[in-house]
Amino acid sequence: MAKNSEPIDLLQGTLDLLILKALQYQPMHGFGISIRIRQMSDEVLQVEQGSLYPALYRLEDRGWIKAEWGTSENNRRARFYELTAAGRKQLEAETNTWRRLSAAINLVLEGT
Amino acid sequence: MRFSRKIRAFFRKGELEAEMADEMRAHLELLEEENRRRGMAAEEAHYAALRSFGGLEQVKEQARDQSSVRWLEDFLRDLRFAWRELIKSPGFSLLAVVTLALGIGVNSAMFTVLDGIILRPLPYPGLERIDRFFRATPQNPDGDFSPADFRDLKQGIAPYGDVAAYRAGEASLSEPGQPAEMATAFRIDSNLFPLLGVKPQLGRTFRPAEDVHGNDRVVILSQRVWQNRFGGRADIIGHVVRIDGEPHEIVGVMPASFNDWRHFGGIDFFRPLGLTNEQAADRHATFLRVLGRRSGQVTAPEAAAFVDNFGARLARDFPAENAGTAWHVASLQSLVAGDNGPATLALLIGLSGCVLLIACSNLANLLLARTMTRAREFAIRAALGASRLQLLRPLIAESVLLAFAGGACAILVAQWFGDWLTLRSTADNGEQAVFTLDLRVFLWTLGASVVTAIVVGVAPALFALRLDLHGTLKSGARGTIGGRHHQRFRRILIVGQFAIAMVLLAGAALFIRSLNEINHRRAGWDSTHLVSGSVLLSPAKYATADMIESFQRQAVQRLEALPGVASASVSSFTPYFGWPDAQKFAIAGRPPPPRGQEPVAAINRVSPHYFETVGTRLLAGRGFVGQDDAQAPRVLVINQAMARGLFGGENPVGRRLVLLDGTAQTTAEIVGMATDVVSVVPEMKPVSWQIYQPIAQAPRPRCEVCVRTADIAPATVIDSIRATVAGLDPDLPVRNLKTADDTIDRANYQEAVLRDMLSSFALLGLGLASLGIYGVIARAVSQRTGEFAIRLALGASIRDITRLVLLDGVKQALLGSSLGLIGAIGVAQFFVASWPGMHFSSLPVLVGTTLLLILVALLACWLPSRRAGRVDAMVALRAE
């Protein structure tokens, strides 16, 4: 991904995928997820809190992630989200869909 | 997390809210901390964190919206809100709930009746494979079978399945120390109960050996008789009772579940068929009813074809008895409703549906009026950004709440109605048609309530959606508006109510009139001062024709000697109801008609003073006298319709008829002509052909005793009649000893129930419609106050205003009635097609109903129009 100082807006529907991906290896709290997405995208993708929490609650309602109270790195109470089995499947499915979509878009853009 | 989040979200909302707040706070603190790490001052870090987080409450609200139980929470909140709103206007709510309770209640009750009569299966396992067999003759499409035909059928039945026969009848039941009672007693084939798949609750069913005459002194009681007459005693098996004067051993008691009033529930006890060898070989007398159970592989069409073929074969093999007959089967369950059952139910359901429609349109109107007074509230909500759905939800919640409250009350109405119907339909012997509410009625009521809520909620909802925001807010504090489209909607409601009320009233009135006419029909006889009762002479005690004749002669002599009695008679039938005995005959001296095509007349065997006693006039010749006995030449009296049919205008006296009974032929001379007798039972033909024969020349063990009193009330001689008969034979009960009018009322109780139901529907419908029409017109007038004030100010007189309002109302009433007339004529045609024996006088009823509705419209307009005329122009205009 090209480095750019301006953060860009997230595409509609990609936030769920990013959250699931961020949670792939370890449980995290909401703040951690937003940091992780920013880091993973080399500071390009900024997740607004206004969209993060509705998305987290939505994913939880669908049973893809579950939350438990734990202690954060600074010894504070925080809600940690982790992937459920259904969430892992969903991540795989969405990743595949995204790969196909972006490959197709690339083909279109790079075609002559 | 033990709890599923969804359930927690619903039931532990507070807990979840707190968690959400905690989570957001934790996030903010982390942001703040990071800001501090980047070198911000504590305060700056705090505000920067808040800024970057965005609106805390908005985020929370968006997060809440993600919950899939959110709609339920919203709905419950809407319901709570609707509840508060309804409580605030108790008058409106009460009116709405009562309207709905009556509308839905009547329909639930109708569903109970439908369920109790048609839908509920008879209590036999594998019911769908049980058929009733019929042997149609030219006279009777649902005729019965002779024992010999049944024997042949039983031998060849294997391709179909299995059959069993039974025989309807009555018998006297007596025990030492108790008065004898006449009871409905069927004689059944030992195979009948096994075929139906029913078992007695005590004792056993009949054994094949008991089918034979001489071994048949055993009896199985119905649960009802066991309870009512024997007090439900447990040691009943083996007990001996006297039936028709003969000792019989009780071998079984049927269970209560067998007591289905639509089939064998009216039977008091059962005895074995007990045919003598001679009877069993007889092909002429047809008295056996036949039920069959199809075996597994046989389909209904195959069974029908088999039975049809079998009947055709017997008609070919035995033309003397069976020429012109055709056999057919019908599933037992399809027969329970009776011939007119489906049409009657269609009538009742249609009319009760009309009541519901009127109730619905009243309610729609009420809700609409309510919504209109709240137009400003809706306009403000819409202006503040409420979506259409958010505008509609409280309205729908209100309708749902009203519908459920109405539905709950409707269950009470239906329950009360079912109890009333059960009470009304209790017969003399304690037999009851039971109508109970069950789960299906509950579900039906629930369904009706929900559908009503949706239908009724739509009208105000549509109005709310079409709300003209700008206009409503501008129209200031008046709160109500009268836009053109809901004026039109209101007109449609009024016209529709008139139309439905017309169909309902005309339908009910037509039917009630026709029932009353039949019920009060006494053509050719006279029911005043007449008492009658049935007597059945047991074959054991009255073995010969002489004994029967002598008993009947003595009874009449003693009855006529009673003080206050003008005359007395015995006869096989009374004139009240049709005579079921059909007599084939030929005219002596004319070529005999081909077999199976002989003319038929109803026949009644009567004693000498019968004509005076029942009040049937003789138009020519003479009646019967004591000398017309078994030794004398055979004589007959025929009615006028028959004389005209056979001999044209000629006097029939002196002509001779040949009575055909199988192979036996009796020639008899016509000695008199009687006036036509029309019974209270609907009949296909206007007047049937009727023959009277002296009872002494054809003695029958079963007879009706009739007594005409001179000038005292007929009911006063009932006890002395009973005592007189008991004086001749203490074992002999007189059944249904009542005045003629009481007997007719009892026999027509179903019609009376029907009449009461129709009257209550019609009254209810008319009441609701009047209320609705009044409400709508009153509201319309109050909204036009400003207009009237301007008219008055411009010089219109009070009479002009009154006329304006009245004319408007009458116009709508006329339009509605005309539309309803089309429906009412359709209903009248349905009646004529479904009850061919009844006469419907449509014209006076339709004219009367239209006039009544116009009267209602005038009344409904008159009150508001007076108010309109009294408008004070200045006050009304200043209020603008």
State the maximum Cα–Cα separation within chain B, in Å, rounded to a whole number. 139
pLDDT at site B218? 92
Helix (H, G, I), strand (E, B) or coil at B608: coil
Q: Do A50 and B66 touch (CB under 8 A)?
A: no
- How far does A111 lie from chain B, in Å, by closest CA? 40
A38 touches chain B (CB under 8 A): no
pLDDT at site A1? 40
Check: CB of residue B820 under 8 Å from CB of residue B769.
no
* Cα atoms in the 13 Å half-sphere on the side-chain side of A51: 15
Q: Do B23 and A60 touch (CB under 8 A)?
A: no
DSSP string for residues in B327-350: EEEEEHHHHTT-SSHHHHHHHHHH
Q: Do B23 and A79 touch (CB under 8 A)?
A: yes
A93 touches chain B (CB under 8 A): no
When CB atoms are compared, the residue of B31, B52, B62 closest to A54 is B62
When CB atoms are compared, the residue of A31, A50, A74 closest to B54 is A50
pLDDT at site B427? 65
A79 touches chain B (CB under 8 A): yes
Closest chain B CA to residue A62: B68
Cα dihedral sign, B790-B791-B795-B800: negative
Q: Do A30 and B27 touch (CB under 8 A)?
A: yes
Q: Which residues contact B264 (CB under 8 A, 6 or more apart)?
A: B186, B222, B258
The CA-CA-CA angle for residues B201, B205, B211, to 5°, reads: 160
pLDDT at site B424? 73
Q: Which residues contact B479 (CB under 8 A, 6 or more apart)?
A: B373, B374, B375, B376
B2 touches chain A (CB under 8 A): no
Q: Which residues of B touch A30 (CB under 8 A)?
A: 23, 26-27
Q: List A8's β-bridge partners, or say none.
A: A45
Q: List B668's β-bridge partners, or say none.
A: B657
- How far does B29 lie from chain A, in Å, by closest CA? 9
A70 touches chain B (CB under 8 A): no
pLDDT at A3 over 50: no
pLDDT at A62 over 70: yes
pLDDT at site B646? 82
- How far does A2 lie from chain B, in Å, by closest CA? 26
> Please, is B704 exposed, middle or buried when counting C-beta atoms within 10 Å of its C-beta (0-12, 13-18, 19+)?
buried
Q: Average pLDDT of each block of 10 consecutive residues along chain B (880 residues)?
A: 55 75 83 84 83 77 72 81 85 85 85 77 86 83 87 88 88 74 86 90 89 87 87 87 85 87 83 87 86 88 90 87 85 76 78 85 80 76 77 80 86 84 70 70 80 74 64 53 63 84 87 78 80 82 84 86 86 82 81 76 87 85 82 86 83 84 80 83 65 86 86 82 83 81 75 80 86 78 76 81 81 86 86 75 82 84 74 64
Q: List B247's β-bridge partners, or say none.
A: B242
B50 touches chain A (CB under 8 A): no
Question: Which single residue is written with the structure tokens 């039931």?
Answer: B11
Closest chain A CA to residue B19: A79
- β-strand pairing of B246-253 with B218-221: parallel
- ipTM of this predicted structure: 0.79
Report d(CA B204, CA B198) in Å as an integer.
Answer: 11
Size of interface A-B (CB pairs under 8 A): 66
Closest chain A CA to residue B63: A54
Report d(CA B6, CA A102) in Å as an integer.
Answer: 35
Q: Do B6 and A61 touch (CB under 8 A)?
A: yes
pLDDT at site B290? 92
- How far does B70 lie from chain A, in Å, by closest CA? 11
The better pLDDT of the pair A15, B344 is held by A15
When CB atoms are compared, the residue of B1, B31, B63 closest to A57 is B63
pLDDT at site B860? 80
A14 touches chain B (CB under 8 A): no
Closest chain B CA to residue A63: B5
A50 touches chain B (CB under 8 A): yes
Q: Which residues of A touch B23 (CB under 8 A)?
A: 29-30, 53, 78-79
pLDDT at site A2? 42
When CB atoms are compared, the residue of B30, B60, B62 closest to A31 is B30
* Residue ranges of B 700-759 with Cβ closer than 8 A to chain A: none
- How far does B13 lie from chain A, in Å, by closest CA? 14
Q: Which residues of B touch A19 (CB under 8 A)?
A: none
Single pTM value for the model? 0.67
Q: Do B54 and A49 touch (CB under 8 A)?
A: yes
Amino acid residing at B157: I
Closest chain A CA to residue B54: A50
Q: Do B54 and A48 touch (CB under 8 A)?
A: yes
Q: Which residues of A touch B68 (CB under 8 A)?
A: 61
Select the residue from B62, B68, B70, B71 to test the A interface by mutation, using most A Cβ atoms within 10 A: B62
Q: Do A30 and B23 touch (CB under 8 A)?
A: yes
Q: Do A49 and B59 touch (CB under 8 A)?
A: yes
Q: Do B26 and A76 touch (CB under 8 A)?
A: yes
Report d(CA B858, CA B864) in Å as an integer.
Answer: 10
pLDDT at site B581? 77
When CB atoms are compared, the residue of B27, B58, B67 closest to A57 is B67
Q: Which residues of B touch A47 (CB under 8 A)?
A: none
Q: Do B6 and A76 touch (CB under 8 A)?
A: no
Check: CB of residue B578 under 8 Å from CB of residue B679.
yes
Exposed e or buried b per residue across A88-97, where buried means at least 16 C-beta atoms within 10 angstroms of its C-beta = eebbeebeee
DSSP string for residues in B800-860: HHHHHHHHHHHHHHHHHHHHHHHHHHHHHHHHHHH-TTS---HHHHHHHHHHHHHHHHHHH
Q: Which of B329, B287, B335 is nearest to B308 (CA)?
A: B329
Q: Which residues of A touch B60 (CB under 8 A)?
A: 53
Select the residue from A56, A57, A59, A75 to test the B interface by mutation, using most B Cβ atoms within 10 A: A57
Helix (H, G, I), strand (E, B) or coil at B239: coil
- β-strand pairing of B664-674 with B656-661: antiparallel
- How far does B76 lie from chain A, in Å, by closest CA? 20
Q: Could you write out the three-class secondary structure of A8-48?
A: ECCCCCHHHHHHHHHCCCCCEEHHHHHHHHHHHCCCCECCC
B51 touches chain A (CB under 8 A): no
Q: Which residues of B touch A66 (CB under 8 A)?
A: 1
Q: Which residues of B touch A58 (CB under 8 A)?
A: 66
- Between the alpha carbon of residue B419 and those of residues B113, B139, B256, B355, B423, the distances in Å are 11, 40, 19, 21, 6
Q: Do B54 and A68 touch (CB under 8 A)?
A: no
